[in-house]
Structure 1
Amino acid sequence: MIEVRKFHTLGSANHGWLDAHHHFSFAGYHDPARTSWGNLRVWNDDTIAAKSGFPPHPHNDMEIITYVREGAITHRDSMGNEGRTEAGDVQVMSAGKGVTHSEYNLEDKTTRIFQIWIIPDQRGGAPAWGARPFPKDDRTGRFVTLASGLPGDDDALPIRTGARVLGATILAGESVTYEATPDRHLYLVPAAGSIRIEDQTAEARDGVAITGLDRFTITALDDSELVLVDAA
C-alpha cells in the first residue's frame, strides 16, 4: 500500500512565530484516520520565525528527532546540554523518564524543521540528547541512516525504538530503491523536490504512507531531498 497525503490536507496551526503543519493528530488537530503510523506518532512540518521558538517545556517517554531543513535550531535542556543544529543535520532527544527542553531559532532568518516523534520500545530510563552533521553529499543517490535503534546502524544517532530515520538526496531523473519489510510502517516526506514512487507522485512536503511492500523505487522528477522513517 502506498498512500500519498497531500500537503494541503494536513492539519495546521499558525501562531505567528510558528507556522505548523501536522501529518498526524497533534495539539488542537485531531483526525481519527491519522493518529499515528505504527510507532510513528508525530511528524510536524514547522516554520519558525527568526529570534523565536519553543520555550522550556517537558516531555517523557518519546524519541524526538529534529531534521533541520533550513536555518538552524538551538537546543537547551535540563540535563545541561546545549547545541546548534544546522540545515541538513539531525538532533535526537530520548525523553525517557522526563526532561525539559527549549528549541529556539536564534538566527536572523526563518528556520524550517521536521519534528518526528516515535514511541520508544520501553518506558522510563535516563533522558539523553545528541546531534551530528550529515553532509548532503554523503547521501547523494542513496539513503543514509541518520538515527536508529536497530542492529548494525552504529554510525547513526541512537534512538530507543526499533526504527530508523533516513535521508537521501536524488538528482532529477535518478532513482533509488529501498528494501523494506512488508509488516513495517514507512513514512516518506520530500523536504524538497517532487518524486514518483512506483505509480504515484508526491510533491515537496507531501506525506507518503507505505506498508505491505518488500521494496519500492523512488524516481526524482526534480532534484529532491527525502526523509524516510521505517518503524514497527
Structure 2
Amino acid sequence: MLVHRRWDSLGRADLGWLTAKHHFAVSAKDDPSHEALGPLIVWNDDQIAVGSGFPMHGHRDMEIVTYVRQGVLGHRDTLGSEGTIHAGDVQVMSAGAGIRHMEFNRGDVPLKIYQIWLLPRIFGGEPRWDTKPFPKGDRSGRFVVLASGFDTDEGALPIHANARLLGATLKSGERIQHELGRSRQAYLVVASGRIEVNVESMGPLDGVAITKVATARISAFEDSELVMVDTG
C-alpha cells in the first residue's frame, strides 16, 4: 500500500528564523493520519535562515539523523564534538542517556535539512555523534545506504535503530527498484525532481509511506534526488 503525503498536506511551523514542514504529525495542528512508521517518528523538512540556528538544547533516547540538502550545517555538543556538514552529507547523533547540542547555519544561503528521528533499540545507551560525506555521484542510478542499524551495511554511519537511511540520484528516464518484502516498511521523500512509485506520481518534496509492498519500482520523470528510510 502507498499513502502519498503531498507537500501541501504536511503540517507547518514558522518561527521566522526557522520554517518547517512535518512529514509526520508532531503537533495537534498536523494531520493525525500522518502517523509514525515503526521506529520512524519524525521527518521534518527544515529551512534555517542565515546567521540562525537551534540554541543549545537536550535530547535523550533518540536516534537523530540529519541529511543536508542545501548549505552548510554547523554542530557543537557536550561531548566536545564539533563539525561542519555540507549538502549531500549526513550526520547522526545517538542521544542515549542524554546529550546537549546546538545546530546552526554556517553558510551564506538558507540551510535546508531533513531532521529524521528514530526510536532506538535500547534506551539509556552511551551518547555519540558522527558525520560522513557521501558524494552524490556514488549513488547515481542506485540506492546507497547512508546510515544503518545493521552491521551488514558496510560504509554506512551506524545508528542504534532497526532502520537504514538510503539515498539515490536518478537522471530523467532512469528506473530503479528497492526490495522490501511485505514485512518491511519505508518512507520515501523526493528531495528534488519528479518520480513515479508503483504508478503513483510524486512531485518535488512529496513523501510516500510504503507498506505491505514487496518491491518499490521507481521511475524518474526528470533528474531527481531521493531520500528513504527503510524500517526493516
Name the TM-score class by shorter chain.
over 0.9
* 1:196-230 deviation digits (Å, cap 9, x = unpaired): 01111111111110010111210011100000000
Partner Cα distance (2:35, 2:196) in 1: 25
* 1:115-170 deviation digits (Å, cap 9, x = unpaired): 10011111011100000000000000000000001131121000001110000000
Secondary structure, counterpart of 1:123 in structure 2: coil
Secondary structure, counterpart of 1:37 in structure 2: coil
1:144 has 2:172 as partner: no
Match of 1:134 in 2: 134
Match of 2:46 in 1: 46
Match of 2:182 in 1: 182
Q: Is the 8 A contact 2:10 2:30 kept in 1?
A: no
Compared CA separation, residues 75 and 29, structure 1 to 2 (3 A): farther
Q: Under a length normalisation based on structure 1, what TM-score does the superposition of the two structures give?
A: 0.97
* 1:42-86 deviation digits (Å, cap 9, x = unpaired): 000001111101001100011000000000110100100000000
Measured after TM superposition, the shift of residue 181 of structure 1 is 2.3
Measured after TM superposition, the shift of residue 179 of structure 1 is 0.8
* Map 1:71-110 → 2, pairs under 5 A: 71-110=71-110
Give the counterpart letter for 2:26 in structure 1: F
Give the counterpart letter for 2:165 in structure 1: V
Measured after TM superposition, the shift of residue 106 of structure 1 is 2.0
Partner Cα distance (1:36, 1:184) in 2: 14
Match of 2:204 in 1: 204
Partner Cα distance (1:136, 1:28) in 2: 37
Partner Cα distance (2:217, 2:225) in 1: 15
Match of 1:225 in 2: 225
Unaligned runs of 5+ in 1: none
Unaligned runs of 5+ in 2: none
Aligned-pair identity in percent equals: 51
Measured after TM superposition, the shift of residue 30 of structure 1 is 4.0
Match of 1:173 in 2: 173
Give the counterpart letter for 2:94 in structure 1: S
Q: Is the 8 A contact 2:10 2:31 kept in 1?
A: no
Partner Cα distance (1:29, 1:101) in 2: 27
Measured after TM superposition, the shift of residue 28 of structure 1 is 5.7
Total equivalences in the alignment: 232
Larger deviation, residues 105-114 vs 32-41: 32-41
Two-structure CA RMSD over aligned residues (Å) = 1.0
Secondary structure, counterpart of 1:138 in structure 2: helix
* 1:80-118 deviation digits (Å, cap 9, x = unpaired): 000000000000000001000110002111110001001
